[in-house]
Amino acid sequence: MIGRDRRPTRSFPLSAGLLLGLGLGGFFDGIVLHQLLQWHHMVSSWYPITTIENLELNTFWDGVFHSGTYVFVLAGLFILWRSGRLSHFRWSTGYLVATMLIGFGSFNLVEGVIDHQVLGLHHVNETVPHGEWLFWDLGFLAWGGAMVATGVLIMRKRNG
């Protein structure tokens, strides 16, 4: 807070960590689940990878998805860079880790609910029998929830 006789409160830009976490969560999903394991692609439930045309379509939408995650990372780095030059900036590994966990976990929760459940664009592991997809989707949501909870616990400990 800045008052007439007060100096600015030293603070860490929480939005930077959240954006970095969102972006890294998206990169993990896209790189590990889409590309390395090839469990799903962006719209593989709507357009199964049974033809070259469907693979091309899914690869395009994977690229659009990666472009969005790239923007999150750039925005987080931009905020961190600008904030680091301010006199009231305070570096904090704890806040960075906590907010990145919250951002990464939030990515999983939002993407898992909207893309997997609401829109049905794809599911976490489409290489297993269809009846098992929900279990993988729920595990993805639980993993996201655990990251958010861990991040919140770290934040509370730091504010403690």
**pLDDT of 17 strictly over 90:** yes
**pLDDT of 10 strictly over 70:** no
Q: What is the CA radius of gyration of the chain?
A: 19
**pLDDT of 9 strictly over 90:** no
| Residue 60 near residue 44, CB atoms below 8 Å | no
84: its two tokens: 């680091």
Phi then psi dihedrals of residue 54, to 5 deg: -70, -35
pLDDT band of 6, cuts 50, 70, 90: low
Output 45-54 pairs: Cβ under 8 A, ≥24 positions apart.
45/120, 45/121, 45/122, 45/123, 45/126, 46/120, 46/121
Q: What pLDDT is attached to residue 31?
A: 96
Question: Average of pLDDT values for 30-40?
Answer: 96
**pLDDT of 5 strictly over 80:** no
Cα→Cα distances 99→38, 73, 92, 149, Å: 29, 13, 11, 11
Residue 156 to residue 160: CA distance in whole angstroms: 6
From the DSSP assignment, how many helices (H) and strands (E) are in the chain? 4, 0
pLDDT band of 140, cuts 50, 70, 90: very high
Nearest Cα to Cα of residue 122 among 51, 58, 76:
58
> Tens of pLDDT along 63-122?
999 999 999 999 999 999 999 888 877 888 999 999 999 999 999 999 999 999 999 999
User: 88 versus 4: which is more confidently predicted?
Assistant: 88
